[in-house]
Structure 1
Amino acid sequence: NMVERFVEILNCRVMEFSFTYLGLLVGGNPKKEDFWKPIVFKFKKLSRWNNKVMSFAERLCLISWILSSLPIFYFSFFEMPLIAERVKEDSKRIFVAGEEGGKKIN
């Protein structure tokens, strides 16, 4: 087993529990929906984040730097499921356009 080889090489032991590091559950099962709930929550929270007081240019900069870079950390470890991808893209669209069902940008 590869894990056992690393344990021998690094002279360490295997952890039996999971923990959260930078909002990502380390030791969790990425195939379960519960694993992705904190990440999906962050996307939804950012998409609703007081965008009425920001100009269009400020919203684009925020998307460029935050909404696009947030998944880099998470998805460097795990493959993103389709539901999380859809929420991410919807969050970007809602954040740029304003409220859902509001005025659209052409």
Structure 2
Amino acid sequence: MKVTLNPAAEKLISASLGETPGMLRIVYDTENCGCGMSGVPALQIVSKPGDYDIPMENDVYPFWIDKMQAVFFEEELTISGEETTGTFRLDGKSQFYKSNIRLIDQR
């Protein structure tokens, strides 16, 4: 899997990471959504990958995704940053996943 960032996303992620080491995860968050098939994409900063995480290709930051959740996403994803709101938008080549995604720091 591969994830590409636009310049605004790179800037927002850099500001969120600061000087503290961390890596990024794309997750399919099902908390309070009813069942495992109902969820929303989310972005997290973590200290280490999860037990079932696999790496994603990215030229700037280490990205990870749970191999069981990867089925909910396309092979190539784009994350765009919105500097005025400090949020992100996640797109694939054939669909839009979600906008107004917050980057949650879980380090």
Q: Give the TM-score taking structure 1 as reference length.
A: 0.22
Larger of the two Rg values belongs to structure:
1
Q: If each structure's helix is expressed as a fraction of its own residues, which one has the higher value?
A: 1
Task: Report which of the two has the higher share of strand.
Answer: 2
TM-score by length of 2: 0.22
